[in-house]
């Protein structure tokens, strides 16, 4: 179940619960609205246990469900004397909900294939909002660029050849193998290999997996994507306590 389903499914739940609450005569209107918005929100939080998609997604569900309930309360209480301005404002917020939901869908699932083929002339693959780059944005962006250039120079001097397989596999679970050899072609041993998963534009890893040695110069492990969408897979090779190799690859899961 994706975010779009939970968002609009919960919104439909708000409408149904509000309508059912109207049949209980002794139920105060404000409590009726609170229950209509709170019950789907509680169901969403229970569903999110073990499937956490981030605070931004949770905040969107909270705002959509509660604002929808309050709008239903206002419309039912003042529908006879409601001025055209509040009606226009209500329509604006309804449109804003659908716009935010559409942007959230594109960010996590990509543009629908017919739209991306017609508008962006894609080759049928998933098209997302864009790639923010391998250096995180923020107040220390200049330092990050300098660090990235220094790492690139260090790796070119080192001359290691690193081959990564499995990141482009389908599904949330991917078997990853990393083969490391030096400039003479000999396997590199006694290296600590780790893959960190980050959302584009963030600095904190959402998930991390340590790769184990499976053969001479070959390290492997099972990478679990926490959720669909776009991810940055950061491979880090540490030897003798020093970071000797780092690479970032973008992966996507519909």
Is 104 found in the same domain as 209? no
pLDDT in tens, 47-105: 888 777 777 778 878 888 888 888 888 777 766 565 666 667 767 777 777 777 777 76
Evaluate whether residue 126 is within a structural domain: no
Q: Which domain holds residue 46?
A: 3-119
Evaluate whether residue 124 is within a structural domain: no
Question: For the chain, how many structural domains are there in total?
Answer: 2
Evaluate whether residue 59 is within a structural domain: yes
Evaluate whether residue 125 is within a structural domain: no
Q: What is the largest CA-CA distance in the chain?
A: 83
pLDDT of residue 119: 67
- The domain that contains 171 carries what CATH number? 2.60.40.1930
Pick from 59, 87, 119: which residue ends a domain?
A: 119
Is 80 found in the same domain as 146? no
Q: Please give the model's pTM, rounded to 2 decimal places.
A: 0.46
pLDDT in tens, 30-39: 888 888 888 9
Banded model confidence at residue 130, pLDDT cuts 50, 70, 90: very low
Is 175 found in the same domain as 85? no
Evaluate whether residue 134 is within a structural domain: no
**HEC letters along 7-22:** HHHHHHHHHHHHHHHC
Is 82 found in the same domain as 27? yes
Is 101 found in the same domain as 12? yes
Is 217 found in the same domain as 158? yes
Is 147 found in the same domain as 110? no
Extract long-range pairs of 238-245: CB within 8 Å, 24+ residues apart.
238/191, 238/192, 238/194, 239/188, 239/190, 239/191, 239/192, 243/151, 244/154, 244/155, 244/158, 244/160, 244/191, 245/155, 245/158, 245/160, 245/162, 245/180
Higher pLDDT, 135 or 95: 95
């Amino acid at each position: 179940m994706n975010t779009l389903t939970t968002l609009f499914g919960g919104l439909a739940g708000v409408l149904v619960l509000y309508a059912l609450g109207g049949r209980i005569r002794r139920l105060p209107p404000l409590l009726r609205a609170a229950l209509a918005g709170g019950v789907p929100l509680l169901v969403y939080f229970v569903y999110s246990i073990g499937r956490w998609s981030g605070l931004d997604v949770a905040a969107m569900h909270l705002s959509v469900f509660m604002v929808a309930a309050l709008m239903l309360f206002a419309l039912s209480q003042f529908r006879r004397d409601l001025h055209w301005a509040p009606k226009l404002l209500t329509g604006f917020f309804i449109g804003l909900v659908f716009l935010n939901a559409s942007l959230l869908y594109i960010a996590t699932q990509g543009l629908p294939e017919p739209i991306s083929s017609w508008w962006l002339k894609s080759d049928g693959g998933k098209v997302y909002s864009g790639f923010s780059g391998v250096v995180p944005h923020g107040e220390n962006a200049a330092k990050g660029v300098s660090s990235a250039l220094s790492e690139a120079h260090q790796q070119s001097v080192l001359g290691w050849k690193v081959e990564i397989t499995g990141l482009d596999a389908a599904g949330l679970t991917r078997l990853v193998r990393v083969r490391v050899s030096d400039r003479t072609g000999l396997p590199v041993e006694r290296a600590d290999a780790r893959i960190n998963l980050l959302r584009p534009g963030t600095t904190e890893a959402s998930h991390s997996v340590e790769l184990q040695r499976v053969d001479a110069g070959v390290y492997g492990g099972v990478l679990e994507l926490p959720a669909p969408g776009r991810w940055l897979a950061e491979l880090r090779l540490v030897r003798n306590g020093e970071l000797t190799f780092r690479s970032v690859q973008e992966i996507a899961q519909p």
